[in-house]
């Protein structure tokens, strides 16, 4: 048994609160997340990642992309979107060999752009060479910038030597320059050849689109980084808060309990107080306990905690409904405290319970113990507890107290108070 | 960790209709304990009287389903919070396939939403872990006999939940209301009265008290208003 002790205790402490349950035992494991693959990629690793995600051959994916691209360009759009929004596989380190593919990626992209332009001219969407060449330039520029914004490249600039950073900057510069060159014919020829204001507008739009395209990788990345960072920070904060709370309360109490092993009453009191505190913390998210000065339920719980602490008797509390405190209810609270103290003192350690119910017209509180009970007529006149503190207090505030007891049958004290008594005296007793 | 030590005493299986609770024959009730803390399980096992025989134990939802299916106990003492989906998952798996097995929720949780959820999932009652040994034995017997078991806390929750909606005008279904008598019974239980004391206070028999409590349980389980769960959730956030 002593061997098992610590293990059990450890288990008890570390069992987490009801967390998200693990997915039910199903035969199908969840498919792997969609990532872009760094190894064996031709362009952005989209096809490879998609193949892993769907569990099919990468060749099939590539063929489908090419077919979709050839029949109307949907494939290109889909590929582009996936490239932007699928994160790079974080569990994969890119081998140097794959880095060498940057060039081939560039070639692939360039040829794609060229092919698209040729296709357009073949279809008769008159693309003059004067436009096609700048467009091609823009395409290559954009592709360079895309490469630059790639997750892996970014981290590479950070950690590795200045040459990489230089090359990154160079790439950014070249990309921007190409965009400018691409848009130059539109801008320069504006007033002369492209006399129509519509054409000027189109040119402006193209430039704007180019700039948006060039800058979008940073926006996307920035948004991604920001949300990832924020959720990490929140998690960290929560963990720190839980750790702090456990340290301040539970660990502290456990230490105290170990110091008081010879005093069962003290141990019981400590454990009970800690339990109450922990419950309040667990089941009242936000950690904001209702103010005992404001709500009846909290007021009664506060009284119960006080009596439990001073007398070391566990008290069960059930409160149905709740309402704001007023003058009459303060009397109820104080009378209930007195009744609880009586029960704790004279019930001989038997169970004590408090039940309170808030109804539209009145508030009723029952304090019950399973102690020996007593004969009300045999109580000497000078014992003030019940007579003054409970009955007198209730009477003064327009309520009433009823005591039910008999020797051997326990005691129950019933407190009744009409609602709205303290604020407006409209109630007729 | 399944002790099938009762393989020899197969005579228990001969009880045909548990509804005949009137005679209360002193047969032992076969119980499976489901709780993820071994120390707690052994504590409960020690406290349960001779009238109760623990035929199996489980520490998570999947194991519970396996053990219960294998041993076919009369009563399952079910923890609300369990690894693998909680007590609710066990109830969802078994209440339709094994209607003879009765569940009694046993939990430290004070959160109304947990309690109401297991009751609506099919548990025949709810007691807190602070319950004493003899009381727990009695509760197990009651559940085995087909009655419902309300702890003061559960009675309080139910009163609260049903009171919260009685003033809503569109409530017209009988299931959505407690009768005056049921309310009285629940109120006494919430005050800590035993069934016997409730009967004495209201001048009715214990059997009648059990009937009222079972009716309340049925209403709690069948009432199809979403408000019950919403009430429970809202309570937790107050």
* pLDDT at A160 (0 to 100): 43
Over residues B94-120, mean pLDDT: 82
Looking at the predicted structure, is the pLDDT value of residue B20 above 50? no
Residue B91 · residue B122 · CB < 8 Å? yes
* CB-CB neighbours of A406 under 10 Å: 11
Task: For residue B104, name the pLDDT band (cuts at 50, 70, 90).
Answer: very high
More confident residue, A404 or B22: A404
Task: State yes or no: pLDDT of A100 exceeds 60.
Answer: no
Report the relative pairing of strands B149-150 and B29-34 from DSSP bridges: unpaired
Q: Which residue has the higher pLDDT, B33 or A385?
A: B33
pLDDT score for A124: 63
Four-CA torsion B130, B132, B137, B141, nearest 10 degrees:
-60
A351, B156: Cβ pair inside 8 Å? no
User: Contacts from B173-181 at CB under 8 Å and sequence distance 24+?
Assistant: B173/B223, B175/B219, B175/B222, B175/B223, B175/B224, B176/B219, B176/B223, B176/B225, B177/B219, B178/B216, B178/B219, B179/B215, B181/B212
Q: Kindly state the DSSP code that residue B7 receives in the 8-state scheme.
A: G
Range name among A80-84, A373-377, B111-115, B192-196 with the lowest pLDDT average? A373-377
Q: Where are the alpha helices (DSSP H) in A21-73?
A: 46-54, 58-70
Nearest neighbour of A283 by CB, restricted to B38, B111, B192? B111
pLDDT band of residue A20 (cuts 50, 70, 90) is very low
CB proximity list for B75: less than 8 A, separation 6 or greater = B29, B30, B31, B32, B101, B102, B103, B104, B140, B143, B144
Residue predicted with more confidence, A255 or B2: A255
Window from A47-61, A219-233, B162-176 with minimum mean pLDDT:
B162-176
What is the pLDDT averaged over residues B75-104? 85
B64 pLDDT more than 70: yes
Euclidean distance between the first and the last CA atom of chain B, given in angstroms as a whole number = 41
For A236-256, how does the pLDDT look when each residue is reduced to its tens digit (9 = 90+)? 888 888 887 777 788 888 888
Nearest to A421 by CA among A402, A390, A395, A399: A399
Over the stretch A400-413, which tens digit does the pLDDT of each residue have?
A: 888 888 777 788 88
Q: Which residues of B touch A318 (CB under 8 A)?
A: 152-153, 155-156, 190
A283 compared with B107, residue with greater pLDDT: B107
Q: Which residue has the tokens 């003061």?
A: B152
Q: What is the C-alpha separation between A31 and A141, in angstroms, rounded?
A: 36
* Inter-residue contact B175 to B223 (CB < 8 Å): yes
pLDDT above 70 (res A85): yes
Mean pLDDT within A11-39: 53
- The runs of H, that is alpha helices, within B151-205 are 152-166, 180-190, 195-202
Q: How far apart are CA A201 and CA A421, in angstroms?
A: 76
What does the pLDDT read at residue A28? 53
Kindly identify which residue of chain B lies nearest to residue A359, measuring between CA atoms: B163
Look up residue A397 and give its two tokens: 């505030």
d(CA A337, CA A355): 13
Among the partner residues B39, B89, B156, nearest to A320 by beta-carbon distance: B156
Coil, strand or helix: which one is B32?
Answer: strand
Q: Name A324's bridge partners.
A: A295
Top pLDDT among A250 and B18 is at A250
Examine the pLDDT at A203 and tell me if it is beyond 70: no
Provide the CB-side half-sphere exposure for B206 (13 A, CA): 10
* C-alpha to C-alpha distance for A7 and A197, rounded to whole angstroms: 81
Do B155 and B190 form a contact (C-beta atoms < 8 A)? yes
User: Residue A276's closest chain B neighbor by CA?
Assistant: B110
Cα–Cα distance list, A148 to A143, A337, B167, B187 (Å):
9, 72, 65, 71
Q: Are A407 and A358 in contact (CB under 8 A)?
A: no
Better pLDDT: B107 or A365: A365
In whole angstroms, give the CA distance from residue A343 to residue A348.
8
Asked which of A92-96, A117-121, A195-199, A292-296 is least confident by mean pLDDT, the reply is A92-96
Measured between alpha carbons, how far is A329 from A365 in angstroms, rounded to an integer? 10
Whole-number pLDDT of residue B9: 40
A9 versus B62: which is more confidently predicted? B62
- Hey, what are A59's tokens? 């060749």
In angstroms, the CA A11 to CA A410 distance is 39
The per-residue DSSP string of A347-368 comes to STT--EEEEEEE-SSEEEEEEE
Q: Which two tokens stand for residue B91?
A: 């109830």
Cα A396 to Cα B110: distance, rounded to the nearest angstrom:
36
Residue range A369-375: mean pLDDT, rounded:
78
Residue A135 has pLDDT above 80, yes or no: no
Share of chain A above pLDDT 70, in %: 55
Q: What tens digit of pLDDT does each residue of A332-363 get? A: 888 898 888 888 888 777 778 899 988 888 89
Given a cut of 50, is residue A44 above it in pLDDT?
Answer: yes
> pLDDT of A178-194, one tens digit each?
666 555 655 555 455 54
**Is the pLDDT assigned to residue B146 strictly greater than 80?**
yes
The three-state secondary structure class of B33 is strand
What pairing do the DSSP bridges indicate for beta strands B75-78 and B52-58? unpaired
pLDDT for A366 equals 92
* Confidence at B171, pLDDT banded by 50, 70, 90: very low
Tell me what the mean pLDDT of segment A108-127 comes to. Answer: 63
Nearest by CB to B37, from A12, A18, A412: name it. A12
CA–CA separation, B181 and B192 (whole Å): 17
Pinpoint the alpha helices (H) of A71-196: 74-85, 96-99, 101-122, 129-149, 151-159, 162-188
> Which A residues in the span 263-322 are in contact with B, Cβ-Cβ below 8 Å?
279, 283, 285, 290, 314, 316, 318-322
Q: Is B77 helix (H, G, I), strand (E, B) or coil?
A: strand
In this prediction, residue A144 has a pLDDT band, given cuts at 50, 70 and 90, of: low
More confident residue, A46 or A33: A46
Q: Please give the pLDDT value at position B237.
A: 46
Between A and B, how many CB-CB pairs are < 8 A? 69
Does residue A25 belong to the interface with chain B, where contact is any CB pair within 8 Å? yes
All residues of chain A having their beta carbon less than 8 Å from the beta carbon of residue B187 are 355, 357
Predicted ipTM > 0.95: no
> A95-104, B13-22, B177-186: which has the minimum mean pLDDT?
B13-22
Q: Find the CB nearest B192 among A12, A25, A355.
A: A355
Locus of tokens 């994160």: A87
**What is the Cα–Cα distance from A144 to B168, expressed in whole angstroms?**
66
Which residue from A251, A185, A239, A176 is spatially nearest to A213, judged by alpha carbons?
Answer: A176
pLDDT at A283 over 80: no
């Amino acid at each position: 048994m002593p061997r098992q002790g610590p293990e059990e205790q450890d288990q008890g402490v570390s069992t987490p609160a009801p967390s998200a349950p693990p997915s039910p035992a199903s035969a199908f494991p969840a498919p792997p997340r969609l990532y872009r693959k760094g190894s064996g990629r031709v362009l952005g690793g989209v096809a490879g990642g998609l193949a892993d995600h769907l569990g099919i051959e990468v060749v099939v994916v590539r063929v489908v992309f090419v077919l979709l691209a050839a029949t109307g360009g949907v494939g290109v759009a889909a590929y582009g979107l996936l490239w932007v929004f699928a994160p790079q596989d974080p569990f994969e380190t890119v081998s140097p060999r794959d880095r060498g593919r940057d060039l081939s990626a560039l070639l692939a992209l360039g040829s794609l752009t060229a092919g698209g332009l040729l296709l357009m001219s073949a279809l008769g969407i008159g693309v003059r060479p004067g436009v096609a060449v700048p467009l091609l330039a823009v395409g290559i520029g954009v592709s360079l910038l895309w490469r630059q914004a790639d997750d892996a490249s970014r981290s590479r600039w950070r950690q590795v030597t200045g040459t990489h950073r230089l090359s990154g900057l160079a790439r950014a510069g070249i990309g921007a320059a190409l965009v400018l060159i691409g848009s130059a014919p539109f801008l320069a020829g504006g007033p002369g050849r492209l006399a129509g204001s519509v054409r000027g507008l189109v040119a402006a739009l193209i430039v704007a689109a180019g700039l948006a395209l060039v800058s979008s990788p940073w926006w996307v990345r920035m948004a991604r980084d920001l949300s990832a960072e924020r959720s990490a920070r929140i998690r960290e904060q929560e963990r720190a808060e839980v750790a702090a709370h456990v340290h301040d309360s539970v660990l502290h109490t456990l230490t105290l309990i170990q110091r008081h092993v010879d005093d069962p009453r003290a141990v019981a009191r400590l454990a009970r107080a800690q339990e109450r505190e922990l419950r309040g913390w667990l089941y009242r998210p936000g950690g904001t306990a209702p103010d005992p000065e404001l709500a009846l339920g909290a007021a009664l719980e506060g009284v119960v905690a006080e009596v439990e602490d001073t007398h070391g008797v566990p008290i069960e509390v059930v409160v149905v409904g709740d309402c704001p405190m007023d003058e009459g209810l303060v009397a109820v609270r104080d009378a209930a405290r007195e009744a609880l103290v009586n029960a704790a003192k004279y019930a001989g350690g038997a169970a004590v319970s408090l039940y309170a119910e808030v109804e539209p017209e009145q508030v009723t509180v029952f304090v019950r113990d399973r102690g020996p009970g007593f004969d009300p007529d045999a109580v000497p006149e000078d014992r003030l507890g019940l007579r003054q503190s409970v009955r007198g207090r209730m009477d003064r505030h327009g309520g009433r107290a009823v005591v039910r007891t008999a020797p051997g049958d326990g005691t129950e004290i019933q407190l009744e108070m009409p609602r709205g008594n303290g604020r407006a005296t409209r109630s007729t007793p | 960790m399944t002790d099938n030590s009762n393989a020899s005493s197969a005579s228990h299986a001969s009880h045909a209709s548990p509804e005949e609770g009137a005679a209360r024959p002193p047969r032992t009730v076969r119980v499976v304990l489901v709780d993820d803390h071994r120390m707690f399980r052994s504590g409960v096992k020690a406290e349960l009287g001779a009238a109760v025989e623990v035929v199996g134990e489980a520490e998570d939802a999947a194991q519970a389903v396996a053990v219960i299916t294998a041993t076919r106990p009369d009563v399952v003492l079910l923890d609300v919070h369990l690894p693998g989906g909680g007590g609710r998952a066990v109830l969802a798996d078994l209440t339709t396939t094994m209607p003879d097995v009765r569940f009694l929720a046993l939990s430290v949780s004070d959160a109304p939403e947990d309690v109401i959820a297991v009751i609506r999932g099919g548990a025949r009652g709810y007691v807190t872990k602070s319950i004493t040994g003899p009381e727990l034995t009695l509760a197990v017997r009651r559940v085995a006999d087909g009655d419902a078991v309300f702890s003061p806390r559960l009675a309080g929750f139910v009163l609260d939940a049903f009171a919260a909606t009685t003033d809503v005008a569109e409530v017209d279904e009988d299931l959505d209301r407690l009768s005056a008598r049921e309310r009285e019974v629940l109120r006494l239980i919430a005050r800590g009265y035993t069934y016997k004391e409730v009967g004495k206070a209201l001048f009715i028999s214990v059997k009648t008290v059990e009937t009222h409590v079972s009716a309340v349980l049925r209403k709690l389980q069948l009432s199809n208003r979403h408000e019950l769960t919403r009430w429970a959730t809202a309570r937790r956030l107050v």
